[in-house]
Homo-oligomer: A and B are copies of this chain.
């Protein structure tokens, strides 16, 4: 989706990926056929591209640094990726900025975990420092701790966070370009699947967030970008409990919680992403309807679907939806395959309509 936004602005897009069926390779004829995280791939791309950006935060900072040394503008900066890529460093950066954070500590032996659990009420969140997402790499550990509750990997690959009960998750998309100009999107609510691990629905604006709280949350998010010395586009996730806010984490790229912007804001997060990468001024970020709801199309099972029928069924239930399908080649249970956006005037109506359309997408029209 960033590639398409770049193309609309006249940029030629080259995708670094060895997979000819990856979503990016379906929207441009220009591809470097190497692993997206290989150093020779990064070097080859740097020969061809004046600007390099990424769609996931697991690209190795050293490969990005190599591309930068070879003369490409790389955004987000390798340095930012180093901070974000290690969740303990990310958490430390937020705390050093004074952002509202849970208590947390590094773990050099499992004894550190026991101590943290004792100090924090008997319950600790154990988080993988690297590579976690959508609930992977997160364990909740209770006292008394059994050895079988502990991961098999080394203690120092993890860190501990205080367990913070929360009512809901909020999120904000923030853009910042090299000139220091910023774009800040509305505060939205991100509702998770019942297993709690994947974004299911995003509601913009977040219900029951007044002007004062909006400003507070947006300030935290701008500071979070500064804390990681961020340039580019970022998705910031936060927890909220009775209006009290804690920062969760930051992603250095367009984010699932910002997909609603594609049809719901004056400037989509993808156009904004490209503007930030190219050091262009931010576009307007406001909503174009009182309510915008995004519903993820998470694959309900492995296997195939009849996409033509599914698309048609969804539109028949609600012609006002905008359907986005990412062109991933394989359905895998829980995988994000696409999303639906719907604009409306009333939250309940809009939410139930988009969910009905999603139901029709996967299960057909009754």
Contacts and interface: CB of A to CB of B under 8 A. Distances in A.
A255 interface: no
A95 interface: no
A271 B315 CA distance: 13
B7 A281 contact: no
Given A29-B26, A275-B315, A281-B319, A8 B325 contact: yes
Contact of A280 (B266, B282, B311, B327): B311
Interface string A80-94: 000000000000000
A309 to B, nearest CB: 11
A26 B148 CA distance: 54
B281 A316 contact: yes
A165 interface: no
B271 A322 contact: yes
B26 A319 contact: no
Contacts of A282: 319
Given A8-B324, A327-B7, A338-B10, A312 B280 contact: yes
Interface in A1-42: 1, 4, 7-10, 12, 20, 25-29, 31
Q: How many copies does the complex hold?
A: 2
A32 B213 CA distance: 55
A320 interface: yes
B12 A26 contact: yes
A283 B321 CA distance: 8
Nearest to A315: B280
Interface in A297-339: 307-308, 311-312, 315-316, 319-320, 322-327, 338
A323 B7 contact: no
Given A4-B27, A281-B316, A325 B267 contact: no
B320 A284 contact: yes
Interface in A277-291: 278-284, 288-289
Interface of A: 1, 4, 7-10, 12, 20, 25-29, 31, 263, 266-267, 271, 275, 278-284, 288-289, 307-308, 311-312, 315-316, 319-320, 322-327, 338, 343
Closest 10 CB pairs of A and B: A10-B325, A281-B319, A288-B288, A280-B315, A29-B29, A4-B4, A281-B315, A8-B324, A284-B320, A10-B307
15 contacts: A7-B27, A9-B311, A9-B324, A10-B311, A10-B325, A10-B338, A12-B327, A28-B28, A29-B31, A266-B343, A278-B311, A281-B315, A283-B319, A283-B320, A288-B288
